Amino acid sequence: MAAAALTSQLNALVNNMFAMGLLDDQFQQLQMLQDSTAPDFVSEVVTLFCDDGERIICELARQLEKPNVDFDRVDSYVHQLKGSSASVGAQKVKNTCIQFREFCQQRSRDGCLKTLDLVRTEFYDLRNKFQAMLQLEQQIQACYPKH
Amino acid sequence: MSTKTVPEPEPHVLAVDDSIVDRTVISRLLRSSKYRVTTVDSGKRALEVLSLDRNVHMIITDYCMPEMTGFDLLKRVKESAELKEIPVVLMSSENSPTRIRRCLEEGAEDFLIKPVRPSDVSRLCNRVIMK
């Protein structure tokens, strides 16, 4: 009974993430790659994305604080975040990274700073939801003890 | 008396990407298609692996990497007498016709746009490794 309720919660959360545009069909591709030979694949990729994304966002903030911003370097970091976002299906973060790169190309510090704020908000929102998703999965697995 | 058939070893793919997220995804994609996979995070490490293990059936590499790009790695492989027969596939999130043409002219077998899909990997198996 508990497992059913938790599964229902998990499905509602993930469906909502798709409906709100946080995720795209690439995330479904990742879910399809998870099976008995790689039972933790999605949580592994999501965790790596969250850690890597946090690192990149901190680095972006540091780069944009410098008196002389190296926009090529900033662009390189945004490109990395865009790439990993695309790979996990993080659609909203990916699209904001595309806008961010345009400001890098325009050498607009203000544009970059505003977009960094936006990407940071979207990333942490997604990360929180991913963490909730992983917690629910662990709780569901706990309902089926291994023999 | 029964004769046991020795199963063919799985094809060995060397996957090169500086992004740990992308390495994990491409590795899973390839393993789910029954490849043996070695992943490295740079062109330099890829060449180190290739110097130690010539039993590599395909190299799949990201294009944009620091220090040595995937294109640089492709050139190094194709310039090497020992390595030039190994098929090299490039991947990039940028759909640049100029970049794609350049890689194919340099001898790349294929150029995949990220995110890479299972259907891309199946196509590679049929076209590249089974040659």
Does B62 have pLDDT greater than 60? yes
* pLDDT at position B1 over 60: no
Contact across the interface for A84 and B115, Cβ inside 8 Å = no
CATH of domain A51-134: 1.20.120.160
Domain ranges of chain A: 51-134
Domains and CATH numbers, chain B: 12-129 (3.40.50.2300)
- Residue B93 contacts A where some CB pair is shorter than 8 Å: yes
Cβ of B25 under 8 Å from any chain A Cβ? yes
**pLDDT score, position B129:** 63
Residue of chain A nearest B18, judged by CA positions: A80
Using CA coordinates, name the residue in chain A closest to B24: A45
Cβ-defined contact of A44 to B64 (cutoff 8 Å): no
- Name every chain B residue with its beta carbon within 8 A of the beta carbon of A75: none
Q: Do A30 and B21 touch (CB under 8 A)?
A: no
Provide, as residue numbers in chain B, all residues whose Cβ is less than 8 Å from the Cβ of A52. Answer: 19-21
Do B117 and A29 lie within an 8 Å CB cutoff? yes
pLDDT value at position B100? 96
Q: Using CB atoms within 10 A of its CB, is residue A47 exposed (0-12), middle (13-18) or buried (19+)?
A: middle
Question: With contacts defined as CB-CB under 8 Å, which chain B residues touch A35?
Answer: 32
Output the tens digit of pLDDT for each of chain A's 147 residues.
589 999 999 999 999 999 999 999 999 999 999 999 999 999 999 999 999 999 999 999 999 999 999 999 999 999 999 999 999 999 999 999 999 999 999 999 999 999 999 999 999 999 999 999 999 999 998 988 766
**Closest CA–CA distance from residue B22 to any residue of chain A (Å):** 6
d(Cα A33, Cα A27) in Å, to the nearest integer? 10
Nearest to B59 by CA among B38, B88, B33, B18: B88
B51–A contact, CB cutoff 8 A: no
The answer to whether the beta carbons of residues A126 and A114 sit under 8 Å apart is no
ipTM of the complex: 0.91
Cβ(B49)–Cβ(B40) under 8 Å?
A: yes
Interchain proximity A87–B22, CB inside 8 Å: yes
pLDDT at B80: 96
Could you please report the per-residue DSSP string of chain B? ---PPPPPPPPEEEEE-S-HHHHHHHHHHHHHTT-EEEEESSHHHHHHHHHH----SEEEEES--SSS-HHHHHHHHHH-TTTTTS-EEEEESS--HHHHHHHHHTT-SEEEESSP-HHHHHHHIIIIIT-
How far apart are the C-alpha atoms of B61 and B27, rounded to whole Å?
Answer: 12
> Chain A: residue nearest B115 by CA?
A87
